[in-house]
């Protein structure tokens, strides 16, 4: 089997499971998550998405022109997402100028470090980051209000399609990448899976 995104998911199924199935999401589905815990996730994710937007800008800068369209669409969606996060924070009377927790800081620093990696590594990382939220919010099934809106943002069919196209773009460049670059892509995938697991867990740390 050739080296591609499907192979990464199969090779690292256990850690990927931990990245996408977490008590935070299960408690959103059950409606039992504490408001304070949900708000902690919301604020940390806003801070994450600011840095993720910058990462996507760097991915664009590294990408071949025939990959621009999808990435530019992703950047436009992130502009909308940042506005939406600010609305959600305002509704909940949360202060966006809050401190990143260590996990969020480390994850953001890691995204920054990806900017100097070969494009196939960046494309794989981008796909993994988006797939984690697509699957994470989708797998529990229909969530009650107010969590339904959040689940829908990353679980909706259009987002699933976007993630599939990201996978195709990553696969295309992984196929012809050197063994060393493929190995770097695999390391990035594993690192992101661990960060995603830790990210959900932050909701249960004291704010
Ligand atoms: C932590 N991972 C995290 N936050 C997000 N918003 C996404 C992935 C997907 O955009």
Residue with tokens 């900017």: 115
Cα–Cα distance list, 99 to 40, 196, 199 (Å): 11, 19, 14
- How sure is the predictor about 205, in pLDDT bands with cuts at 50, 70 and 90? confident
Of 133, 162, 163, 200, the one to substitute when testing ligand 1's pocket (max ligand atoms within 8 A of C-beta) is 133
pLDDT of residue 207: 58
* pLDDT tens digits along 128-141: 999 999 999 999 99
Say if CB 58 and CB 115 are below 8 A apart. Answer: yes
pLDDT of residue 180: 98
Of 77, 104, 132, the one to substitute when testing ligand 1's pocket (max ligand atoms within 8 A of C-beta) is 132
pLDDT of residue 160: 98
* pLDDT tens digits along 54-92: 999 999 999 999 999 999 999 999 999 999 999 999 999
DSSP track, 59-85: HHHHS-GGGHHHHHHHHHHHHHHHHHH
Average pLDDT for the chain: 97
Residue spans of the domains in the chain: they are 5-204
Q: Give the pLDDT mean for 114-118.
A: 98
> CA-to-CA distance for 55 and 128, rounded, in angstroms?
13
Binding site as annotated, residues for substrate: 45, 81, 130
> CA-to-CA distance for 13 and 204, rounded, in angstroms?
24
Q: Active-site residue 196, yes or no?
A: yes
- Please report, rounded to a whole number, the percentage of residues in the chain having pLDDT higher than 90: 98
Give backbone dihedrals phi and psi of 172, rounded to 5 degrees, phi first.
-60, -45
In this structure, which topology does domain 5-204 adopt according to CATH? Heme Oxygenase; Chain A (1.20.910)
């Amino acid at each position: 089997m050739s080296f591609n995104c499907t192979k990464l998911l199969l090779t690292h199924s256990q850690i990927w499971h931990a990245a996408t199935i977490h008590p935070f999401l299960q408690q959103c589905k059950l409606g039992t998550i504490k408001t304070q815990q949900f708000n902690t996730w919301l604020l940390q994710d806003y801070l994450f998405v600011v840095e993720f937007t910058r990462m996507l800008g760097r991915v664009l800068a590294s990408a071949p022109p025939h990959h621009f369209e999808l990435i530019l669409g992703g950047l436009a969606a992130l502009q909308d997402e940042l506005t939406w996060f600010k609305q959600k924070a305002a509704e909940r009377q949360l202060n966006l100028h809050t401190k990143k927790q260590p996990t969020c800081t480390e994850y953001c620093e890691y995204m920054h470090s990806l900017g100097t990696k070969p494009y196939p590594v960046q494309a794989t990382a981008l796909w993994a980051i988006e797939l984690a939220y697509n699957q994470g919010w989708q797998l529990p099934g229909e969530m009650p209000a107010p969590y339904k809106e959040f689940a829908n943002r990353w679980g909706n069919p259009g987002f699933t399609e976007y993630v599939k196209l990201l996978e195709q773009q990553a696969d295309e460049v992984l196929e012809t990448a050197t063994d060393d670059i493929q190995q770097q892509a695999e390391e990035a995938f594993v690192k992101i899976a661990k960060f995603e697991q830790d990210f959900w867990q932050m909701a249960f740390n004291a704010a």
